[in-house]
Amino acid sequence: NAGVMQNPRHLVRRRGQEARLRCSPMKGHSHVYWYRQLPEEGLKFMVYLQKENIIDESGMPKERFSAEFPKEGPSILRIQQVVRGDSAAYFCASSPATSGGYEQYFGPGTRLTVT
């Protein structure tokens, strides 16, 4: 029973490029959450998605960031025209539909470095 999977684990992008981060939830989980962890800080909520729906994006920056969770395939967090301040670890978590958002299980994260 694989846990939450994220890829790539490490991603290096130059300023102005696009970053795509992927998250496959645990088997049987249909809720996905994205969090960002800046160096030496705790995690900050970004967005909560269910299949084909964005439920809560109150933590997403207004520009350049978008997320999707299609009917088939992984959830994608997309950052356009990356800047140095986007360098962080991005974590995905999933929970089953029946849990009401409780018991969020986290993936290993994608560490994005913008040069």
Partner 1 sequence: GEDVEQSLFLSVREGDSSVINCTYTDSSSTYLYWYKQEPGAGLQLLTYIFSNMDMKQDQRLTVLLNKKDKHLSLRIADTQTGDSAIYFCAEQSGNMLTFGGGTRLMVKP
**Residue 38 near residue 106, CB atoms below 8 Å:** no
Q: How far is the CB of 99 from partner 1 (least distance, A)?
A: 10
Nearer to partner 1, 33 or 65 (CB): 33
- Give the residues lining the site for partner 1 (CB under 8 A): 4, 33, 35, 41-45, 48, 55-56, 58-59, 91, 93, 101-109
CB of 9 to partner 1, least distance (A): 9
**What's the number of CA atoms in the CB half-sphere (13 Å) around residue 30?**
11
Integer angstrom CA distances of residue 43 from 16, 27, 66:
25, 24, 18
Residue nearer to partner 1 on the CB measure, 3 or 66? 3
Sort residue 59 into left (φ over 0), alpha (ψ -120 to 50) or beta: alpha
What would you report as the CA-atom Rg of the chain, rounded to the nearest whole angstrom?
13
Of the two residues 10 and 15, which places its CB atom closer to partner 1 in the complex? Answer: 10
Nearer to partner 1, 38 or 83 (CB): 38
CB of 75 to partner 1, least distance (A): 15
